[in-house]
Amino acid sequence: MIGVIAKADQRVVVREFFELFKTPWEFHEEERTYDVVIATADRVPPLDAPLLLIYGCDTTSTDPAIGVIAGRRRAGASLQCGSMSAPIYGGLLTFQEDSAGAVHATTDEGIAALRFDRGGATIIRLGYDLFEEVRFLLTVGQPVQHARVPTLDAHIRMLRTWILNAGVPLVEIPPVPAGYDFTVCLTHDIDFVGIRRHRFDHTMWGFLYRSTVGSLRRVLKGRLSVARLLMMWRAAASLPFVFLGWTEDFWNPFPWYLHVEQGLPATYFLIPFKRRVGQHVPGRHPARRATAYDVADIPQWPTALREKGCEVGVHGIDAWHDVPKGRAELMRITAITGVPIAGVRMHWLLSDVGTASTLERAGYTYDASAGYNETIGYLNGTTQTFRPFTTHTLLELPLHIQDGALFYPHNLDLSEAEAAEQCRLLLDHAQSSGGVLTVLWHDRSHGPERLWGDFYIGLVQTLRSSNVWFATASQAVGWFHARRRVRFERPDHGSHSSVRVFYEGPPIDPPLILRQHDGAHATDTTWNGVTSLDVRSPLPVAS
């Protein structure tokens, strides 16, 4: 059991952190004993715990007693602890070399953490505040230069490692369903349902330029093959016949994705109202945010998608800043589909500090907008869904891989080989840490002039060959909601090494994993929440 001594304004952050690192914990009570104590408050009472972790970028009342000599304070650094690393975004206090403890972690600026071994107990003094780092990651998010670093997951990994290295057994529920390595959400933002709706507008002229002159330039730069150049020219030449309805519209996304995904559940975010730019749209050319279609123009497709096991969500226009408009967008999709809609992804990924609360009040249960437009990676430093601090039930489903971020010339502008290498890094992290890997491929990305369909086919094949649970966004978020409802409790007069795991709700499918670490050994138990569990060494048993 972990006891937490935190600052008064950090309690909501602590609770959310331990929904992500799902292990027994509670706010510290003086009459109780603990295996681990984590402190960010200035004053730490005398403790008898095998491991004490003291975080903070200010000197504490405990520092002189344990032999800490403070050095310089700075803002931001790169933390290194053995093979583990993470950027630090808030304040960092370094320590002088003549401090009493052993060096535990460093930065380019000096010693960032000290370890003290005192009579069978371990004290680790860290020069940053863990919970302020978590607050920053889940509110502001990471700058683009650190996008590829799963920073929040790294903080969890470091804390887990330090606990186990101190010889403390640990029970946790990892963020992955039993029988799988991680979860995959395939998602599609549907901004276009064909080029036939774009006669003589900027979209049509842009397509003609990019598929002819623009594609020739890419061939000359070695970024496009001659075979694909000819495909683009054929598509451009066929445009009059597409407008006349004599040949297939090469931007129709639905048949292509259903064929490529072949029964995999995917989530399609559809536009509720066409020709609406929306309010408060930043950036260049805001008028281009308006679309030429909405869900009422394609009434057959929501039904067809649901019959294939897919989900339809809202591709929001003004929902990010306006509750009544967000509710109207939700109801518009619901009226066409005839089924309740839970989730939203904002068109252009627009958001501000109030968006999560606004979406929740409008009736959404999850938002899938937490990602980058210009790169791939971890905006909030994690593969896990999380609850923003301004909401009660709405969860954020993070976005990790986006087609436009990979291939647009003004974004990463990667070759397919480079993109595969970058995606592989994200897959490897999901393989080791679990969570959800969310992929966004847009409507026209498979066709000319983008022709990113072959890469997507390869990505889907790679994911199929992995041990993953394919889920719609609602299914993945629902699984994490169930995991969040699991609670740990210990007897009032029992051992601090004994806890009961309980859950109230329908059976969890796929089941959870209850993982019990004992040194280098870990034992997994599959659990669907139907019975409570008593967790003692060495194995949990059903009560």
Tens digits of per-residue pLDDT, 452-475? 999 999 999 999 999 999 999 999
Per the domain annotation, does 485 fall within a domain? Answer: no
- CB of 527 closer than 8 Å to CB of 518: no
- CB of 123 closer than 8 Å to CB of 116: yes
Q: Can you give the CATH number for the domain in which 73 is found?
A: 3.40.50.880
Q: Give pLDDT, residue 518.
A: 86
Residue 229 has pLDDT above 50, yes or no: yes
* DSSP state, residue 8: G
The pLDDT-based confidence of 76 (bands split at 50, 70, 90) is: confident
- CB of 499 closer than 8 Å to CB of 542: no
**Residue 55 token pair:** 């975080």
**Residue 264 token pair:** 């995999």
Q: Quick one: 471 exposed, middle or buried, by C-beta within 10 A (0-12, 13-18, 19+)?
A: buried
The pLDDT-based confidence of 539 (bands split at 50, 70, 90) is: very low
Torsion of CA 100, 104, 106, 112, to 10 degrees: -60
Q: Give pLDDT, residue 369.
A: 98
Q: Can you give the CATH number for the domain in which 266 is found?
A: 3.20.20.370
Q: How far is CA 492 from the centre of its chain?
A: 36
The pLDDT-based confidence of 543 (bands split at 50, 70, 90) is: very low
Q: Do residues 165 and 268 both lie within one domain? A: no
Per-residue H/E/C for 109-149: CEEEEEEEEECCEEEEEECCCHHHHHHHHHHCCCCHHHCCC
Residue 538 has pLDDT above 50, yes or no: no
Q: Give pLDDT, residue 536.
A: 63
Residue 519 has pLDDT above 90, yes or no: no
Distance (Å, whole) CA 448 – CA 226: 14
Per the domain annotation, does 486 fall within a domain? Answer: no
The pLDDT-based confidence of 224 (bands split at 50, 70, 90) is: confident
The pLDDT-based confidence of 218 (bands split at 50, 70, 90) is: confident
Per the domain annotation, does 128 fall within a domain? Answer: yes
Per the domain annotation, does 19 fall within a domain? Answer: yes
C-alpha neighbours within 13 Å on the C-beta side of residue 328 = 8
Distance (Å, whole) CA 533 – CA 88: 37
Q: Do residues 328 and 225 both lie within one domain? A: no
Residue 68, amino acid = V
Instruction: Give the total residue count for the chain.
Output: 543
Q: Do residues 206 and 110 both lie within one domain? A: no
Most confident of 201-205, 232-236, 386-390, 535-539: 386-390
Distance (Å, whole) CA 34 – CA 30: 10
Q: Give pLDDT, residue 497.
A: 61
Per the domain annotation, does 178 fall within a domain? Answer: no
Q: Give pLDDT, residue 43.
A: 82
- CB of 112 closer than 8 Å to CB of 77: yes
Q: How many CB atoms lie within 10 A of CB 531?
A: 12
Q: Do residues 400 and 525 both lie within one domain? A: no
Q: Do residues 327 and 434 both lie within one domain? A: yes
Q: Do residues 151 and 228 both lie within one domain? A: no
Q: Give pLDDT, residue 340.
A: 85
Q: Do residues 295 and 370 both lie within one domain? A: yes
> Which residue shows structure tokens 């990602």?
371
Q: Do residues 462 and 366 both lie within one domain? A: yes
Decide: pTM greater than 0.85. Answer: yes
Q: Tell me how many degrees the CA angle 124-128-131 measures, rounded to the nearest 5.
A: 100
The pLDDT-based confidence of 493 (bands split at 50, 70, 90) is: low
The pLDDT-based confidence of 35 (bands split at 50, 70, 90) is: very high
Q: Do residues 313 and 266 both lie within one domain? A: yes
If you average pLDDT over residues 57-81, what whole number do you get?
A: 91
- CB of 357 closer than 8 Å to CB of 396: no
User: Which of 118, 139, 172 is the endpoint of a domain?
Assistant: 172
Q: How many domains does one find in the chain?
A: 4
Q: Do residues 127 and 216 both lie within one domain? A: no
Distance (Å, whole) CA 68 – CA 325: 55
If you average pLDDT over residues 528-542, what whole number do you get?
A: 66
User: Which of 233, 248, 263 is the endpoint of a domain?
Assistant: 248
Q: How many CB atoms lie within 10 A of CB 494?
A: 13
Q: Do residues 453 and 363 both lie within one domain? A: yes
For strands 51-55 and 436-440, give the pairing. Answer: unpaired
Per the domain annotation, does 490 fall within a domain? Answer: no
Tens-place pLDDT, residues 288-330: 999 999 999 999 999 999 999 999 999 999 999 999 999 999 9
Q: b vs e for 190-214, b when ≥16 Cβ sit within 10 Å of the residue's Cβ?
A: bbbbbbbbbeeeebbeebeebbbeb
Q: Quick one: 313 exposed, middle or buried, by C-beta within 10 A (0-12, 13-18, 19+)?
A: buried
Q: Do residues 376 and 508 both lie within one domain? A: no
Which residue range forms the structural domain that includes residue 240?
A: 196-248
User: Which of 172, 204, 233 is the endpoint of a domain?
Assistant: 172
Helix residue ranges per DSSP H, 308-410: 323-337, 355-362, 403-407
Per the domain annotation, does 493 fall within a domain? Answer: no
If you average pLDDT over residues 14-36, what whole number do you get?
A: 94
What percentage of residues in the chain have a pLDDT greater than 90?
85
Per the domain annotation, does 487 fall within a domain? Answer: no
Reference 87, options 149, 1, 41; nearest CA is: 149
Output 159-162 pairs: Cβ under 8 A, ≥24 positions apart. Answer: 159/21, 159/38, 159/53, 159/130, 160/21, 160/517, 161/84, 162/51, 162/53, 162/124
Beta pairing partners, 406: none
The pLDDT-based confidence of 24 (bands split at 50, 70, 90) is: very high
Residue 388 has pLDDT above 70, yes or no: yes
> Residue 365 in 3-state DSSP?
coil
What percentage of residues in the chain have a pLDDT greater than 70?
97
